[in-house]
Structure 1
Amino acid sequence: MTHLAGFPDRPVRVNARVDAPLSRWLWLVKWILAVPHYVVLFFLWIAFCVVTVIAFFAILFTERYPRALFDFNLGVLRWNWRVAFYAYDALGTDRYPPFSLGEEPDYPARLDIAYPERLSRGLVLVKWWLLAVPHYLVIGFFVGGAHLGWWSSGLIGMLTLVAAVILAFTEKYPKDLFDLIIGLNRWVLRVSAYAALMTDAYPPFRLDMGGPETPDAEERT
């Protein structure tokens, strides 16, 4: 497992790299190919919500997020990020996402969240609804509130559609556009981790563009 305690200033790290070459036309059917994942994720997100409620009371009484529950919710977020990266939140790879809650270090989309030894009892009461409201307004614009067929009407979905059209005609994924899309997804995932009580570090109002947040040679056990 990755050592994450070494970056308390950045407890949520989102990494991604675009695969090359990418198929010109596979993106047209990825929504069909990803259906099995969507079915599984539907039930995983129900479990995620239940686990978060249990974690809320655990933090409130013990100041700790039970490690097993934390690892499960981290796994759900990782799974969701890999599917989003494959499908219509990035289209950054043609590699089919694994059905896994694990880290999957070889997959081009990765998510790491540092496990907190202690969490604030006071913050757990307000951070997921009151403190996070400004971020909800921002990421609501990113992800949109409606879907056009299978595609989100938010900024991320629209930019990914632009990338898909460019890819279809040029066989290339514009680097600047990829960096922007990853930056937007990074913002969403940081807020998701905060709202899910997995960190007390308030998400920055900052668009960190680009793929990797960690060096390729990060320490591992």
Structure 2
Amino acid sequence: MDLPEPGRQRRWTVLLRWLLLIPQYIALLFLWVAASVVLVVGWFAALITGRLPEPIASFLTGYLVYSTRVTAYAMLLVDAYPPFAFLAPDYPVQVEVHPGKLNRLAVLFRIILLIPATVVVELLIFGWYVLSPIFWLMVLIRGRMPRTLFEATAATARYDMRLYAYLMMLTAAYPKRLFGDAPAPSEQPGSATRPLLLSDAGKALVVCFLVLGAALLIFNNFISATNNTSTTSQPSAASQASPSEGVMTRLGVRQPVRQQQRTTTAVGPPRLPL
């Protein structure tokens, strides 16, 4: 994935970024439905022939490239509005995909193989979006994204793109290099992210995304489990009352005060709902 160096961004587009993204997400919704159907057909074809048919590979590649552009725009990596097209050679975000030969066994167990990388991506995205109001405010005030934040966000977006490329069988390579590429002195940089070199601060921020995403996920599950336990363990009023009390209440008969006091003492004070 090629991205330009972090440059100036128009503050009004940063301010209205989520409103500007609504048409893009509507288009992506319809494309996602079509891509899901095409992907199922492509899975059977790849399982039999060992590669995606050319029309299917072309459509899924276009969908991946387009969705990656929208993701980069949503994550404040670029200021240019994404065009509604699969092919956009002049857009600052470019993705190279080269579909080829696939391992049939890896195609068969694609979903199982994707579980570890999917967990990583979910934690990354969750952690990033929790902090996104702070990032949005920083870019809005400064008019550009800080370099460290750019590195960590680009690494997150690139790993997410590689996950979906592997899911859609556009590559046989498993998602890797979350923390950037190894430096190659003889290689001329093709863009700000080719190779993607993360500073120590950028790597630390990626780790922060992972830890924050994991912590919030665990906390959310703990709260849900606590609420479910409290709901199931709380006795109902009908279960606290004796059978005779229930019958007498339905008949409109009032118990003597002394019997009511004994019942209250035996049962104890009413429990407050948690």
Distance 2:34 2:131 in 1: 31
Q: Name whichever of 22-31 and 71-80 sits farther off.
A: 22-31
The answer to whether residue 77 in structure 2 is matched with residue 96 in structure 1 is no
Give the equivalent residue in structure 1 for 2:172. 200
Identity %: 30
Higher strand residue share: 1
**Which entry has the higher C-alpha Rg, 1 or 2?**
2
The answer to whether residue 13 in structure 2 is matched with residue 47 in structure 1 is no
TM-score by length of 2: 0.63
Distance 1:99 1:44 in 2: 11
CA apart distance, 1:136: 1.1
Distance 1:70 1:126 in 2: 19
TM-score by length of 1: 0.77
Q: 1:130 aligns with which of 112, 118, 122?
A: 112
Code of the residue aligned with 1:61 in structure 2: it is I
1:80-103 residue CA offsets vs partner (Å, 9 max, x unmatched): 11111112xx2122211101011x
Which runs of 5 or more residues in structure 2 are unaligned? 182-190, 197-274
Relative distance call for 1:202 and 1:93 in structure 2 (3 A) is: closer
CA apart distance, 1:160: 4.1
Distance 1:112 1:67 in 2: 16
CA apart distance, 1:115: 1.9
The answer to whether residue 12 in structure 2 is matched with residue 29 in structure 1 is no
1:181-201 residue CA offsets vs partner (Å, 9 max, x unmatched): 000111111111111122221
RMSD: 2.1
Relative distance call for 1:33 and 1:23 in structure 2 (3 A) is: same
Relative distance call for 1:34 and 1:206 in structure 2 (3 A) is: closer
Question: Residue 179 of structure 1 contacts residue 211 of structure 1 at CA under 8 Å; is this kept in 2?
Answer: no
CA apart distance, 1:20: 2.7
SS in 2 for 1:164: helix
Equivalent pairs counted in the alignment come to: 187
Which runs of 5 or more residues in structure 1 are unaligned? 1-13, 144-153, 216-221
Distance 1:20 1:46 in 2: 35
Asked which structure has the greater RCO (Cα within 8 Å, sep 6+), the reply is 1
Distance 1:168 1:35 in 2: 20
Give the equivalent residue in structure 1 for 2:193. 212
The answer to whether residue 30 in structure 2 is matched with residue 58 in structure 1 is no
Q: 1:83 aligns with which of 44, 58, 70?
A: 70
Distance 1:142 1:48 in 2: 24
Higher helix residue share: 2
